[in-house]
Structure 1
Amino acid sequence: MTDDSSPNPRGGSPRRTPPIPFLVLAGVVVAVTILFYQVIRPLALPLFLAAVIALLAHPLHARLTDRLGGRASLSAGIITLLILLVLVGPLGTAVGMAVSELRSVVEHFREGLAAGEDWRVLVAQDLDPRLADAIGRVERLIPLDADELREKALTIGAEGGEVLYRRSLGLLGSLPGLVLGLVMFLIALFFFLRDGSQMILGWEELTPMNAEHDRLIRGEFARVCRGVVLGTLAAAVAQGVLLGLGLFAIDLIAGTGIGRWTFLLSLLTVAFSMVPFLGAAAIWAPTALLMFSEGHPAAAVVLAVYGAVVVSLSDNLVKVLVIGETAGMHPLLVFVSVFGGIQLVGFLGIFVGPIVAAVLFTLLRILRREIVSLNRPASGRGLDRPEAG
C-alpha cells in the first residue's frame, strides 16, 4: 500500500500525490461542466444580461424591499415588470410602425413604377416634397436618362420589396427564439433579484476557489458593469450636448432655421446614442439631409462632417475615459478590450471585453500573491521585504 504522505527526500513538509479517484472525479467534473455549457449556451446571452441588470438594480431592489416590509418577491416582480415595459413597449411599437411604413412605401413604389408613373411624382407623394426638390437639383446638375433611371428604379423597387419580404419572413421565423430569450431573461432577472444573496452563498460553497478571491473577482465584475453603464450614459449626454452646440452655431452663422429644434434634437440624440447600431447618426444625418433639401448645402456638409468627426467619435472617447476611471483600468486597456470585444461578440463586447480584461488582471494579482506566500517560508521570514505599493 502506497503512502501518499512519504517524506520529501530534500526535507521539508511531506509531499502528497493526488489519488487516482480524485483525478477521475476532476475529469468527470470538467466533462459535465462542458456538457452543461453546451446545454445553456443558447440562453447564455439572456442569462448574462439578466445578471448585469440584476447587479445594477440591486440597490433599488434592496430599498424597495425595505419599503414593502421585507417582501423580496414582490419587489423583484415590480422591478422585472418595469424593465419589461421599458424594453418591450417603445421598442415593439417603433419597430412595428417602421416595418409597416417601409413596406407600404416599397409596395406603392413598385405599383407606381410598374404603371409607368414618374418616379419624382411618387417621391413627392410618399416622401417630403422638399426631398423631391433636392433630387430635382441633383438632376439639373447631373444629366440623367429618365428611361434608364426609371428602369433602375423599377428593378431596385422590385428587389427591395423581395428583400423586405424575405427579411420579414426571417424575422417571423426567429420570433419564437426572441420570445424564448425574453422570457428567459425575465425569469432569470426575477430570481437573480430575489435570491441573489443566497445564490452567491451557494456558489461560494460549491467553488473550490478561496472565498476572498471569489469576492475580488465578483467585485471587479460589478465595478466594470457599473463603469460600462455610466460610460454609456455619459457618452449619450455628451453627444447630445455636442450636437446641440453644433446646431446652434450652424444656425447662428448660416441662418438655417433649425435653431428652434436644437433642444428636441439634442434630447433625441441622447436617446438614440444608447441604441445599438444606430447612435447619434440617426439624428444628425437626417438633419443634414433636411438642411440640404431646404437650400443650405454648405451648412449640411458642415453638419455631416461635424457629426461624423466630433459627435459620433466622442462616444468612444467618453466611454473609454469613464469606464477606465470607474473600473480603475488604463484607458488604452479599456479601448483595446472594448473594441476587441465588439469584434468578437458584437454589441455585448462593450461589457464582455472590459470584464474579461479586469478579471484576468485580478487573477494575475491573486496568483502573484499566492506565489509570494508559498515562497515566503522557504526564503525565511527575516529576509522578507514589504511589497512595493
Structure 2
Amino acid sequence: MQARLEQRSFLFLLLIVTALFLYLMQPFFGAIFWACAIAIIFFPAQRYFTRLWGERPNLTALGTLGFCLTIVILPTLFVAASFVFEGVNLYQQIQAGEIDPRAFMDRIGETVPFVGTALESFGVDIESLRERAVNAVMEGGQFFAQSALNIGQNTARFFIHFGVMLYLAFFLLRDGGYLRELIGQAVPLSREREQLLLGKFAEVTRATIKGNVVIAAIQGLLGGFIFWALSLPAAVLWGVVMGVLSLIPAVGAGLIWVPAAIYLFAIGNWIQSIVLVLFGTVVIGLIDNLLRPVLVGRDTKLPDYMVLLSTLGGLILFGINGFVIGPLIAALFTAFWGIFIRDFKHPEDQEAEGR
C-alpha cells in the first residue's frame, strides 16, 4: 500500500514538473520545433559528413548546420528582408496617399461602365459597394504592409529565437542518437511500437516540410516573376505572400493572383489579365496539383482530404508552424489507431485470422 501511494505521488509530481517545464519552454516553442525539424531533415547530410570525416560528432554537426545555413536559411533570410523592405515601402505609400484605392475604383468604373449599370438594375447601391471595396483594399494592403513592418520592428526578438534554434539544432544533430534512445527508454512502449511511432514522426516531418516548402518556394518564385513581368507593383512582396498562402492546399496562391487578374481585366488591361490567368492556372496551379500529392501525400501516406483539413487546422491553431504540426498530428493519429487495430483486436478476430 505504501509503495503504491509513493509511486502515485511520484507520478503526480512528475506530471507537475513536466507541465511546468513545458510552460517554461513555451516562448521558444517555434525555435525548438524548427531545431528538431532541421535535425530530422538534414540527418542524411549528417550521415554523409560522418562517412566523409569519420566519427567526429562536433565537426559533422557543424558541417551539417553550415550546409543547412547555405542552402536554406540564408536564402530565406534574404527573401524575408526583401519582403520587409517592400512591405514597409507599400505601407509608407498608402499612408502618404501615393496609392489611392479610390482612384483605382474610379478607373474601373470608367473602363467597364456596363458592370455598374447591370448592378444598379438589380438594386445594388453602387456607391456603398464602392466604399466597401475601397475599405477592403485599404485594410488588406495595410494589413500586409503592417505585418512586414512588425517583422522589421521585431528584429531583436527574431535573432534571439534564431540563435536559440541554431544552438539547439547543433546539439540535436550531435547527440540525436543518444536522445532518441533516451526518449525510447522513457516512453512506456514496446520497442516495435516505439520504432514505428518515431519513424512515422520523422517521416511525416521530413515529407511535410520538404514538400510544402518546395511547393511554396516554387509558387512564390513563379508568382513574383509573373507580377514583375506584368509590371505589377511590389512583386517580391506579393510573391512571398503567394508562397506563404500556397501552404494551404487547393486554394493557396490563387487568393492573390485571381483578384489581381480581375483588377487588370476591370481597368482594361485584358491581355495582361489573360496572361496572368493562363500562367496562374496552367503553371502555378499545375505545380500544386502535380507536386503536392507526390511530395506530401505519398510520403505521409495520408489521403489528400486529410492533408488539406489537417493543414488548415494546424495553421489556425498554431500559426505558420501549423503547416507541419497539423499533418504530423494527423499522421500520428492514423499510426496510433493502426497500432490499436492491429494489436488490440477482439480474441475472436485473432482466432479467425489464425484459421
TM-score bracket relative to the smaller structure:
0.5 to 0.7
Residue of 280, 288, 291 corresponding to 1:315: 288
Question: Is the Cα contact below 8 Å between 1:338 and 1:350 reproduced in 2?
Answer: yes
The AA in structure 1 aligned to 2:211 is: G
Pair 1:339 & 2:306 matched: no
Q: 2:184 aligns with which of 204, 208, 231?
A: 204
In the alignment, is the contact (CA less than 8 A) between 2:112 and 2:267 conserved in 1? no
Q: 1:110-149, aligned counterparts within 5 Å? A: none
Aligned partners of 2:144 and 2:199: how far apart in 1? 46
State the Cα RMSD in Å: 4.9
Deviation at 1:357, TM superposition (A): 1.5
Q: Does 1:86 align with 2:75?
A: yes
Deviations 1:268-302 (CA, angstroms, capped at 9, x unpaired) = 9xx85883247645985698589769964255157
Structure 2: gaps (5+ residues): 117-134, 231-235, 247-251
What are the superposed Cα offsets for residues 303-346 of structure 1, whole Å, 9 maximum, x if unpaired? 34873798459637853564221122223322222222222223
Q: Deviations over 1:197-250 (max 9, x none)?
A: 11111222222232322211111112212321343266459859998xxx9xxx
Q: Which runs of structure 2 are paired with 1:135-214 in the superposition (5 Å)?
A: 170-171=150-151, 174-214=154-194
Q: What corresponds to 2:60 in structure 1?
A: 75
Which amino acid counterpart does residue 33 of structure 1 have in structure 2? Answer: T
Alignment match of 2:211 (pick from 231, 234, 245):
231
Residue type of the alignment partner of 1:276: V
Shift of 1:365: 2.8
CA distance in 1, matches of 2:59, 2:30: 25
Instruction: Kindly provide the amino acid, as one letter, of the partner of residue 384 in structure 1.
Output: E
Residue aligned with 2:208, SS: helix
In the alignment, what sits opposite 1:328?
301
- Measured after TM superposition, the shift of residue 40 of structure 1 is 0.7
- CA shift, 1:140, in A, is 6.9
User: TM-score, normalised on structure 2?
Assistant: 0.67
- Report the structure number with the largest CA radius of gyration: 1
Distance 1:368 1:74 in 2: 44
Q: TM-score, normalised by structure 1?
A: 0.62
Q: Distance in 1 between matches of 2:146 and 2:330?
A: 40
Structure 1 segments unaligned to the other structure (5+ residues): 5-17, 111-121, 124-131, 144-154, 248-257, 263-267
- Alpha-carbon distance in 2 for matches of 1:220, 1:329: 12
Match of 2:243 in 1: 275
Identity %: 25
Do the aligned partners of 1:338 and 1:351 also contact (CA within 8 Å) in 2?
A: yes
Change (3 A) 1:136 1:62: same
Which of 30, 40, 57 is the aligned partner of 1:55? Answer: 40
Q: Hey, what's the Cα distance between the residues in 2 that align with 1:32 and 1:225? A: 28
SS at match of 1:276: helix
SS at match of 2:154: helix
- Aligned partner of 1:386 in structure 2 is 353
Check if 1:351 corresponds to 2:324: yes
